[in-house]
Structure 1
């Protein structure tokens, strides 16, 4: 569940800097009260329909972008029955352009303009320069390289193949006119499917051989920024974007496919922004909803999933709420394995 909200400056005093000047939010992370026993229907409704909540603001924003993309920036299915360079290049260009706009906007305000300095920034340093663990000895350039050389082409390839299959009737198609209820419910289900898929694939690539060969590239980014979200090895991109294969077996509309892939592509910039909050104006801030994943980059063995309504980390004992007690539990869990 997104924790995005507005609050005044008076609450900033509840937050603090940790040792070594790392920023820690004043409230602990909580998993959404949906899959709980005994059931709490009022709390569950608030999760889905409240503000902030499951729908508002982030999932609705990504849905609106997907709708705009389908109606204004995507060829019709008849055109996509044949693999032609013209429409495939259009999809590649619009994916690159939209991602540059969204991730670049986060980066511009927080890391180029430095509009709020280091206020609410988790890590006390700016992105690394002059270190050979990153291509070009520059963290931001390295991240942008992997984003546009690997992530965007693989995202686009999955999208093109899926559209081509739907256009030719090889993949199951869902008409909104015939099935309006399922059409809407599938949009609500896609982020939940993403939560489960991400947890499973993420745990898999933390297996030591795969980690060393593949996932370590992403974890070079301890001090994360918006461009870090999709800075991955191509093998990891293949696994990450394979969430769209759901639509190869479940009847779907092309707009569902776009929503799935754009959610996979745009949410990582928000999830790696590196700041607890963005300051809009004096006294008004907006939560970025990225603390959950920041803790994964900080501690490595926790929060493999995301802060959605499916509490995967809580179920499998890898949830970290940001407290010292959670760090102690983590150490008790992993230290015996390290010694063995």
Structure 2
């Protein structure tokens, strides 16, 4: 069982921060459909991780991804290009954010959830260093298994074993597939994440990710290989639902690049003392703080519906601690 750390004044300030969790109409009752549509529009159509991943998927498709017909047989040329299509956005986003926030400290602790620095000289982590630990598991296990999953999907699509769809054929579904994949990823993540918190699985796999109580950009997909295997089973949806290669790229970036930002440890990106973009995720920050809550994502209220929602209140903290104690003392 992981132990909750003591947190300082800055972390306490964010612990009681009203944030997107309490203001999100997805978690309101009775339902507010108009407010929910406005929230999605503001979240997905503004400068956000969703728009960033959409831009990456289109740009990589036209500049780096091989033509689908070349993927009918497994050959090093196209397989390396798919690997680079995943490696480059992951390294650019995680590396760039880490340099800005933690190496150059361009915004100090402004909007930081936890005032402590990332861990060094700590035997909990591989190589004794939190950043090196996170980079190793992200790049060696995460990007590798993410790429393997996409190799399989692209090969099956190229050979007619998975349904392929192209933009001129069905432009409406082409567009709707993007929000569908966000919701599907959220649903899949919620249930896989709950499975990973079963004590026996948590101990042998998910505990590696939860070393990161105080998270940083490289923490997003820093996971045990078993967790990565479960995490990337969500690509199986493309064996059922007609998809375009852009959708497969987008799906991978939602799964893997989005967590770079949600695990940044900061609520906002600040440039010249002005908040420029939403970055962190207070909802998921609470999960890393208290473990047995907020298993899903902020895009869908799975936790609210299934009784694992933490809204940042003292009452929710007491309830979560009681549940965690019950789970780990059986």
Matched with 1:207 is 198
Matched with 1:14 is none
Q: Name the stretch that deviates more: 206-215 or 281-290.
A: 281-290
In the alignment, structure 1 residue 24 sits paired with structure 2 residue 13: yes
CA drift of 1:285 comes to: 4.3
CA drift of 1:19 comes to: 4.9
CA drift of 1:148 comes to: 0.9
With over 3 angstroms needed to count, the CA separation of the structure-2 counterparts of 1:166 and 1:30, relative to structure 1, is same
Residue by residue, what CA displacement relative to the aligned partner does 1:112-163 show, whole Å, maximum 9, x if unpaired?
1011112222222211111111111111001101111101111111111111
Aligned mates of 1:190, 1:230 — CA distance in 2: 18
In the alignment, structure 1 residue 156 sits paired with structure 2 residue 147: yes
Match of 2:33 among 34, 41, 61: 41
Match of 1:286 among 274, 277, 297: 277
Q: Name the stretch that deviates more: 82-91 or 196-205.
A: 82-91
Contact 2:107–2:273 (CA<8 Å) still a contact in 1? no
For residue 273 of structure 1, give the secondary structure of its aligned residue in structure 2.
coil
Contact 2:141–2:225 (CA<8 Å) still a contact in 1? yes
Please state which structure has a larger fraction of its residues in helix.
2
For structure 2, the 5+ residue unaligned runs are 1-6
Aligned mates of 2:275, 2:289 — CA distance in 1: 27
| Matched length | 320
CA drift of 1:254 comes to: 1.0
Match of 1:144 among 135, 155, 168: 135
Match of 2:320 among 308, 330, 335: 330
Matched with 1:4 is none
Matched with 2:99 is 108
Aligned mates of 1:194, 1:336 — CA distance in 2: 29
CA drift of 1:281 comes to: 1.8
Contact 1:80–1:167 (CA<8 Å) still a contact in 2? yes
Aligned mates of 1:132, 1:237 — CA distance in 2: 23
Contact 2:27–2:304 (CA<8 Å) still a contact in 1? no
CA drift of 1:290 comes to: 1.7
Matched with 1:192 is 183
Q: Name the stretch that deviates more: 188-197 or 275-284.
A: 275-284
Matched with 1:261 is 252
CA drift of 1:287 comes to: 2.5
Aligned mates of 2:39, 2:274 — CA distance in 1: 26
CA drift of 1:180 comes to: 1.2
Contact 2:8–2:115 (CA<8 Å) still a contact in 1? no
Q: Name the stretch that deviates more: 18-27 or 319-328.
A: 18-27
Matched with 1:10 is none
Contact 2:310–2:316 (CA<8 Å) still a contact in 1? yes
For residue 68 of structure 2, give the secondary structure of its aligned residue in structure 1.
coil
With over 3 angstroms needed to count, the CA separation of the structure-2 counterparts of 1:102 and 1:132, relative to structure 1, is same
Contact 1:23–1:120 (CA<8 Å) still a contact in 2? no
Contact 2:265–2:280 (CA<8 Å) still a contact in 1? no
